[in-house]
């Protein structure tokens, strides 16, 4: 255990309180005293004890992040942005992964909630918004993802229906008509797959392309292996499509690989479009057309939303500005309704759906 305020006080010959005043940069300290205390602080390598601070102040500066998988590129990139953005709020991120397991999601939610962390950002796969609402009580919660939390919980996501419509319309615009959709996930609660399927169907209907149930392929996970399996199934089953919209880039990369294995040329024989804009897709051969959610905006909005809740929720212990405290208290009476924040997205067209030569500069972000 390191040095405490008491140790420093003893060494500098002042009271504990004065040391605290120096540490916290309070004005009412004589220059000479401040100097002496600062020297003692350095000599003893004093570091404030976060646990004690939190116990007093009721906040820790820690934000929990629960995602299904840290090692999936999409969540990795998102987590990275969240960690970076959190630094701007002077927050540290406590990352845990649920593997999409509802039980584990609940345990993390209840275990972290109300404890140690000031707020929680979660991308649920297994729990429904109602479950989430019931389990989360103590701290503000912001969801990432498409689930319909209808006024129950704040959440941030892109408009997946619209994005899927645009992606599918893009494929239709290439003259494709047998467009498969890979990534249907009936068992998941988060609504992502549903919304993308809805968008896909809407685009087909709008273009008067007859839907074919055989072209809607379910998967059990969003990994490459599943994408490859789905594509093989399509090709083996005699349902060969001329384009495929995958609900994630990983699925698309797996599908791409399988198609190439079957001797297909992409995009000539098969156009491939993904979703997420992960880095791998930019350097795949051919590079992958995809829907790019504005991940930086998602991170920014999620944290901003949490910041708002924190400001409103707690009576601002020791608020410096009385006017501000007033406003916070006023907002605190009627907890503001849950927000639904929609982040931007754009369709990034690359080689896997373009007519361009394969011998191009390659990526839209080449160095």
Draw the binding track, 234-273, toward its own copies (x: CB under 8 A; -: no contact): -------------------xx-xxx-xxxx----------
Helix (H, G, I), strand (E, B) or coil at 34: helix
Does position 317 bind DNA by CB under 7 A? Answer: yes
3-state secondary structure (DSSP) of residue 284: coil
CB contact at 8 A, 114 and 137: yes
- Tell me the C-alpha distance between 340 and 160, whole Å: 13
Among 299, 330, 295, which Cα is nearest to 316's?
330
Q: Which member of 35, 39, 43, 53 binds DNA (CB under 7 A)?
A: 53
b/e map of 7-22 (b: 16 or more CB within 10 Å)?
ebbbbbebeeebbebb
CA distance 82 to 72: 15
Stretch that binds DNA, among 32-40, 136-144, 173-181, 354-362 (CB under 7 A): 32-40
Q: How far is CA 136 from the centre of its chain?
A: 18
Asked if 97 touches its own copies (CB under 8 A), the answer is: yes
Q: Which stretch binds DNA (CB under 7 A): 9-17, 127-135, 147-155, 324-332?
A: 9-17
**Minimum distance from residue 323 beta carbon to DNA (Å):** 16
Is 82:75 a contact under the CB 8 Å cutoff?
A: no
Alpha helices in 207-278 (DSSP H): 224-236, 249-261
Supply the angle between the helices 73-88 and 295-313 in degrees, to the nearest 10. 50
Contacts of 220 (CB under 8 A, 6+ apart): 185, 226
By the rule CB under 7 A, 32 interacts with DNA: yes
Q: Report the partner that residue 347 touches, choosing among DNA, its own copies, none (CB closer than 5 to 8 A by kind).
A: none
Q: Is 331 in the site for DNA (CB under 7 A)?
A: no
24 binds, among DNA, its own copies, none (CB under 5 to 8 A by kind): DNA
224 binds its own copies (CB under 8 A): yes
- Smallest gap, in angstroms, from Cβ of residue 49 to DNA? 3
Are the C-beta atoms of 148 and 129 separated by less than 8 Å? Answer: yes
Of the pair 33, 198, the CB lying nearest DNA is at 33
**Binding partner selected for residue 23 from DNA, its own copies, none, CB under the kind-specific 5 to 8 Å limit:** DNA
Q: Nearer to its own copies by C-beta: 196 or 224?
A: 224
Residue 305 sits at φ, ψ, to 5 deg, of -60, -45
Tokens standing for 262?
């079957």
For the segment 303-342, give every residue that binds its own copies (CB under 8 A): none
CB of 315 vs its own copies, minimal distance in Å: 11
Nearer to DNA, 5 or 132 (CB): 5
Does residue 128 belong to the site contacting DNA (CB under 7 A)? no
Residue of 47, 187, 205, 268 interacting with its own copies (CB under 8 A): 47
Bridge partners for 92 per DSSP? 62
User: Which DSSP letter does residue 268 get?
Assistant: T
CB nearer to DNA: pick between 261 and 326:
326
Min CB(70)–its own copies separation in Å: 4
Q: Which distant-in-sequence residues (6+ apart) come within 8 Å of 200 by Cβ? A: 164, 165, 167, 168, 179, 181, 245
For 299, the token pair is 């991170």
- Decide: is 20 part of the binding site for DNA (CB under 7 A): yes
Minimum distance between the CB of residue 310 and DNA, rounded to whole angstroms? 16
Which residues sit at the interface with its own copies, rule CB under 8 A?
1-2, 45, 47-52, 54-55, 58, 60, 62, 69-73, 76-77, 79-80, 83-84, 92-97, 110, 112-116, 137-138, 223-226, 228-229, 253-254, 256-258, 260-263, 279-280, 282-285, 358-363, 365-367
């Amino acid at each position: 255990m390191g040095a405490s305020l008491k140790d420093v006080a003893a060494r500098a010959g002042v009271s504990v309180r004065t040391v605290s005043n120096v540490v916290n940069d309070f004005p009412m300290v004589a220059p000479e005293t401040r100097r002496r205390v600062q020297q003692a602080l350095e000599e003893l390598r004093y570091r404030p004890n976060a646990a004690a601070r939190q116990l007093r102040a009721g906040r820790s500066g820690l934000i929990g992040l629960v995602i299904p998988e840290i090692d999936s590129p999409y969540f990795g990139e998102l987590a990275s942005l969240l960690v970076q953005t959190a630094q701007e709020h002077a927050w540290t991120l406590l990352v845990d992964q649920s593997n999409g397991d509802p039980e584990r999601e609940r345990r993390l939610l209840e275990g972290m909630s109300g404890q140690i962390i000031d707020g929680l950002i979660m991308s649920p796969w297994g729990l429904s918004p109602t479950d989430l609402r019931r389990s989360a009580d103590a701290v503000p919660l912001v969801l990432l993802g498409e689930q319909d939390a209808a006024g129950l919980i704040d959440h941030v996501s892109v408009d997946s229906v619209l994005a899927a419509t645009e992606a599918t319309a893009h494929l239709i615009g290439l003259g494709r008509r047998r467009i498969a959709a890979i990534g249907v996930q009936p068992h998941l609660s988060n609504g992502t797959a549903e919304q993308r399927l809805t968008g896909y169907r809407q685009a087909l209907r709008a273009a008067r392309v007859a839907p074919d149930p055989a072209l809607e392929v379910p998967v059990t996970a969003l990994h490459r292996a599943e994408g490859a399996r789905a594509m093989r199934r399509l090709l083996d089953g005699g349902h060969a499509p001329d384009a495929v919209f995958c609900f994630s880039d990983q699925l698309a990369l797996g599908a791409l690989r399988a198609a190439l294995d079957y001797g297909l040329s992409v995009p000539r024989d098969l156009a491939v479009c993904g979703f997420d804009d992960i880095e791998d897709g930019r350097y795949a051969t051919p590079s992958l057309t995809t829907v790019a959610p504005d991940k930086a905006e998602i991170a920014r909005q999620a944290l901003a939303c949490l910041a708002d809740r924190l400001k409103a929720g707690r009576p601002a212990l020791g608020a410096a500005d009385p006017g501000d405290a007033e406003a916070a208290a006023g907002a605190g009476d009627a907890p503001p309704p849950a927000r639904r924040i929609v982040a931007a997205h754009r369709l990034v067209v690359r080689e896997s759906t373009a007519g361009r030569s394969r011998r191009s500069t390659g990526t839209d972000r080449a160095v």
